[in-house]
Amino acid sequence: MDNTNKRLILGAVLFEGFELLDIYGPLEMFGILVMLKSNVEIIMIGEKIGPVKSAAGPCGYIDKSFLEIEDVDILLIPGGIGTRTEINNRKLINSLKELSNKASYVATICTGSALLAKTELLNGIKATSNKMAFHWVTEQGPKVKWIHKARWVEDGKFFTSSGVSAGMDMTLGLIEKIYGKDKSLKVANLAEYEWHQDKSCDPFYKTN
């Protein structure tokens, strides 16, 4: 069913050391929905308003702090080298837990699933993550039903993806869930992106 007329707020989380493509790849897909006149509002959120340096150096910009956001419809959590530090940031983890509880959908890319696992909301839930960092990620959530081979996993309202570019495949799967297959294919075509639709098998699974 196409929910084009339903207003959705997407909160994209930024923190020091986030991975560029983890966040901007999925946001490009949702940005195309905005251009297609779908009622989606994208907000960059984090601990405090201002620039945040990515793992590669270029900064993203937080529009609103967690304290200013009561809830979002979609919560998007990237990975990156910064997750190694942020898993010990109880303030961040608590904010992610609070927003995740209220969100209709929660989506993580790469090692962002480690942050979500720390909230314990993934306990008993199927999930995946970056294959090169898989062992480290799974240590952060021993009660999660980790699926090593998957490109991305959907379990209820939780969508988790493998590394980096897999986030765009997962996002198209999420768009399909919300808006239908025709819309997700249109977004992929407008992005000139070849969508890897087989979520059960990551082609990088055997190389990592």
Number of independent structural domains in the chain: 1
CATH code, 107: 3.40.50.880
Residue 206 in domain:
no
Strand partners, 52: 60
> What does DSSP assign to residue 43?
E
Q: What is the pLDDT along the chain (208 residues), one digit of tens a residue?
A: 444 567 899 999 999 999 999 999 999 999 999 999 999 999 999 999 999 999 999 999 999 999 999 999 999 999 999 999 999 999 999 999 999 999 999 999 999 999 999 999 999 999 999 999 999 999 999 999 999 999 999 999 999 999 999 999 999 999 999 999 999 999 999 999 999 999 999 988 876 6
Please count the helices (runs of H) and the strands (runs of E) in the chain: 7, 11
Residue 46 in domain:
yes
Report CA 149 to chain centroid distance, whole Å. Answer: 18
Structural domain that includes position 50:
8-190
Residue 205 in domain:
no
pLDDT at 134: 96
> What does DSSP assign to residue 57?
S
Strand 145-146 relative to strand 59-62, pairing: unpaired
Q: Output the pTM of the full model.
A: 0.95
Residue 86 structure tokens:
């942020």
Residue 107 in domain:
yes
